[in-house]
Amino acid sequence: MAETAGVRLKLESVIDLPFEQKKLDFKMSHSGERLNNINKFLEVDLPPYGPYELGGRFQLHDNQKVQAL
C-alpha cells in the first residue's frame, strides 16, 4: 500500500512461477479524503466529494488492453 497527500493506493496480485508475461490479473483499490486531491495527477477537474473509495479487478491476456471486471 502507498499513501501520499491523503490518497491511498493498494495493489494485489498473485504471480505464478514461472512468470508468464502474456497474462496479468490484479486487484486495485484507491481511496482518499477528497476526490479533487487527484486532479493534478489525472489532469481533470473533479469535485471535492469525499471520503471516497474506488476499486476493481483488472486482467491482461495475450497483448490485449487492460480491461476492468
* Mean pLDDT computed over every residue of the chain: 77
Question: What average pLDDT does range 43-56 have in this prediction?
Answer: 90
Q: How far apart are CA 54 and CA 24, in angstroms?
A: 20
Question: What average pLDDT does range 57-62 have in this prediction?
Answer: 78
* pLDDT over threshold 60, residue 53: yes
Instruction: Decide: pTM greater than 0.85.
Output: no
Work out the percent of the chain whose per-residue pLDDT is above 90.
7
Q: Which band of pLDDT confidence, cut at 50, 70 and 90, is reported for residue 48?
A: very high
| Residue 37 CB partners (closer than 8 Å, separation 6+) | 5, 6, 7, 50
